Amino acid sequence: MKIFTSDQIKKWDEFTMRSNGISSLELMERAAHSCAKWFVQNYFEINSFAIFCGAGNNGGDGFAIARLLYKKGFEVILFADESQVYSESAAINQKKCKDISGLEILKFENANNFIFKENTIIVDALFGIGLNRPIQGKFAHLIQFLNDLNHLKISIDIPSGLMADEMIADQAVVFKANDTLTFQSWKKSMLHPETGIYCGNIHVRDISLSEEFNSLEPSNELVIDEKIIGEIYQPRNEFSHKGTYGKATVVAGSYGKIGAVVLATKAALKSGSGLTFILAPKCGYEILQISCPEAMFISGGENEVVNFSIEENSTLGIGPGLGTHSDTEKSFLNFLKTCKNPLVIDADALNILSKNPDYLKLIPKSSIITPHPKEFARLFGPTENSFARLDLAREKAHELQIYIVLKDHHTQVITPDNRVFYNITGNSGMAKGGSGDALLGIITSLLAQSYSPENAAIFGAWLHGKAGDFAAEEFSKEAMLPSDLIDQIGNVFKYLNKKVLPKNRKD
């Protein structure tokens, strides 16, 4: 799914109106119907809504939603500033509400003294993607007041105060939603931690904007959706053998950190590689042979990996629990000097590379590095916020001709040719030591199976998050462990075969 800027979304709306022969008002009605349907499906037992409407088309959506919910028998109270200059479609929808006797429109100031029923849902239709400056004055007071209410809060299209594609200013006033019903596609600000935190759960509502515009309009930022995954995923060939699915080698571990090797290796095994090897220190031999009997062990030293004796033609995932011992560092750097094939590099291997900017040049072209934000800062320097971090990652991915998997709540896969794929699977249950080791194992295994580096990174990030979502469903976000995530990889492949492939099959 492409991510468009607010200007592109406006063009998309206009293109749709022209090509479908519909007016702005009709498109607004479509959007409002889609939201009203969602409210009815999810909150039919709640009968009270307080809807706050601005003067632009977002406010217009609010008025139209109010009318639809009122007609369905819900109690609706509207709050608006009727002295404002409304957009054409908002004015028409405001008038339609006024013409319904029994549907009250109160002034924003009245909200302060209004007694909201306990189960009233607060709906924010103050500003949408047309916001062009920080919110101040009476709107800021109103939003602060609403944020303090202990009610369920839902934003229409985007929480008021957020711009679709920009970072917010310090101290910005933004409506804090539990859910956001956004039209047609994700907006960039929903995917970054500083801004996404205001959105709650995102529900993308299909309002049938033009498919033609979507396919023609360029965007180098995308959300990894199931359409993309369906195109990448290659089901297994029944006439295959273990040689068909490549050799993956996990290079990891040091004394006290053998668990990281276990997690990365299990994740690689569960992701389908034909043969899986471990290059780890001897101190982990028994643990690894017992916990991962399908993998073959190669000793790389006593307590650290100091000898990169690599199985021929295998794809390497290097780093978890490796440590940064000077001998490990020396042998890793020497190995890099001779290595031409793409690698997957994480954790301590990245920490070694961050010691000297010249080391970065040793990374083979088309390799995949998987830093978390701190590792990223060690490698490339600090940045002010996650938007700036992404810009720097794009620069570095291009300069070094590598793929960067920038780990986050919405992990970003950055390609050397400047595209960004945001992952939307995964959850906070994965915020635990060991989750990243699993990701390294998954991506290494996919790369070994001849997925291209780009596809291995995109598919790996999605698969990892989806397995995390299945684990959270079974065990809760609190109790799930990285091992549970690894155990769910099989269910993700089942899901792919049952749910994703049939939808994407071209025949």
Ligand X SMILES: Nc1ncnc2c1ncn2[C@@H]1O[C@H](COP(=O)(O)OP(=O)(O)O)[C@@H](O)[C@H]1O
Choose from ligand X, K ion, ligand NAX, none: what does 351 bind? Cβ within 5-8 Å by kind: none
3-state secondary structure 195-207: HHCCCCEEEEECC
Going by the annotation, the residues of the binding site for (6S)-NADPHX are 57-61, 128-134, 157, 260, 321, 372, 437
Question: Is residue 54 at the binding interface for ligand NAX, with CB under 6 A as the rule?
Answer: yes
Going by the annotation, the residues of the binding site are 57-61, 124, 128-134, 157, 160, 260, 321, 372, 407-411, 436-437
Closest residue to ligand X in the complex (CB)? 436
Segment 88 to 127, residues that bind K ion, using CB under 5 A: 124
Token pair, residue 9, equals 């979304």
Question: Is residue 160 at the binding interface for K ion, with CB under 5 A as the rule?
Answer: yes
Q: Give the x-and-dash track for 157-186 against ligand NAX (CB under 6 A).
A: x-------------------------x---
Smaller CB separation from ligand X, 92 or 481: 481
Smaller CB separation from ligand X, 126 or 406: 406
Got the DSSP string for 327-385? HHHHHHHHHHHH--S--EE-HHHHHHHTT-GGGGGGSPTT-EE---HHHHHHHH---SS
Choose from ligand X, K ion, ligand NAX, none: what does 226 bind? Cβ within 5-8 Å by kind: none
Q: How many CB atoms lie within 10 A of CB 352?
A: 24
Least spacing, CB of residue 158 vs ligand NAX, in Å? 6
Question: Is residue 57 at the binding interface for ligand NAX, with CB under 6 A as the rule?
Answer: yes
Helices (H) and strands (E) in the chain, counts: 19, 17
Give SS3 for 475: helix
Smaller CB separation from ligand NAX, 209 or 250: 209
Question: Is residue 130 at the binding interface for ligand NAX, with CB under 6 A as the rule?
Answer: yes
Question: Is residue 189 at the binding interface for K ion, with CB under 5 A as the rule?
Answer: no
The enclosing H or E element of 275 equals strand 275-280
Least spacing, CB of residue 481 vs ligand NAX, in Å? 40
Segment 84 to 123, residues that bind ligand NAX, using CB under 6 A: 87
Going by the annotation, the residues of the binding site for AMP are 407-411, 436
Choose from ligand X, ligand NAX, K ion, none: what does 342 bind? Cβ within 5-8 Å by kind: none
Question: Is residue 396 at the binding interface for ligand X, with CB under 6 A as the rule?
Answer: no
* Residue from 5, 20, 24, 324 binding ligand NAX (CB under 6 A): 24
Segment 329 to 388, residues that bind ligand NAX, using CB under 6 A: none
- Residue 136 identity (one-letter amino acid): Q
* CA 43/CA 142 separation, integer angstroms: 25
Stretch that binds ligand NAX, among 125-133, 236-244, 401-409, 470-478 (CB under 6 A): 125-133
Residue 143 CB partners (closer than 8 Å, separation 6+): 126, 135, 160, 161, 173, 174, 175
- Residue 76 identity (one-letter amino acid): V
> Max alpha carbon distance in the chain (Å)?
82
Residue (of 182, 50, 168) closest to 118 by Cα position: 50
Smaller CB separation from ligand NAX, 156 or 306: 156
* CA 376/CA 366 separation, integer angstroms: 18
How big is the site for K ion, counted in residues (CB under 5 A)? Answer: 4
Question: Is residue 386 at the binding interface for K ion, with CB under 5 A as the rule?
Answer: no
Choose from ligand NAX, K ion, ligand X, none: what does 380 bind? Cβ within 5-8 Å by kind: none
Least spacing, CB of residue 182 vs ligand X, in Å? 19
* Torsion angle, alpha carbons of 305, 306, 312, 313, to 10: 60
Q: How far is CA 349 from the centre of its chain?
A: 25
Smaller CB separation from ligand X, 159 or 196: 196
* CA 33/CA 64 separation, integer angstroms: 8
* Residue from 3, 27, 53, 229 binding ligand NAX (CB under 6 A): 27
Residue 291 CB partners (closer than 8 Å, separation 6+): 262, 266
* CA 279/CA 312 separation, integer angstroms: 13
356 phi and psi angles, rounded to 5 deg? -150, 125
Question: Is residue 20 at the binding interface for ligand NAX, with CB under 6 A as the rule?
Answer: no
Binding region for ligand NAX (CB under 6 A)? 13, 24, 27-28, 31, 54-59, 61, 87, 127-135, 139, 156-157, 183
Binding region for ligand X (CB under 6 A)? 347, 372, 407-409, 411, 426-428, 430-431, 433-437, 439, 464
